[in-house]
Amino acid sequence: MSVDEKTVRRIAHLARIAVADDEVAPLQGELNAILAFVEQLSAVDVTGVEAMTSVTPMAMKKRKDVVTDGGRAVDVVANAPETEDHYFLVPKVVE
């Protein structure tokens, strides 16, 4: 797939980018290079390749997804200037 001048101008319009007439040709070349690289990537056979979330293998520690109070409410608000029932008290800023 290649991009022509009309497509470059349309992409620039959709992206709300002002493109001068002398900038169209270089942008066309860059977009065509990007699309050629994507086509090259899509030609790679990835059958049997596991998807990765990082370049290094990471064993994720998993815990049960349960709702708790954390068991440390007293510790959390211990240094707060004012608290009430394990909540921070702050001055009212909206009337």
Residue 24 has a pLDDT of 95
Q: What is the pLDDT of residue 20?
A: 94
In angstroms, what CA-CA distances link 95 with 82, 88, 90? Answer: 21, 19, 14
pLDDT tens per residue, range 25-67: 999 999 999 999 999 988 899 898 888 777 777 777 788 888 8
- What pLDDT does residue 54 have? 77
CATH number of 5-42: 1.10.20
Better pLDDT: 21 or 69: 21
Distances (CA, A) of 76 to 79, 88, 89: 8, 10, 13
Torsion of CA 53, 57, 63, 67, to 10 degrees: -20
pLDDT > 90: what percent of the chain? 49
| Residue with the larger pLDDT of the pair 11 and 2 | 11
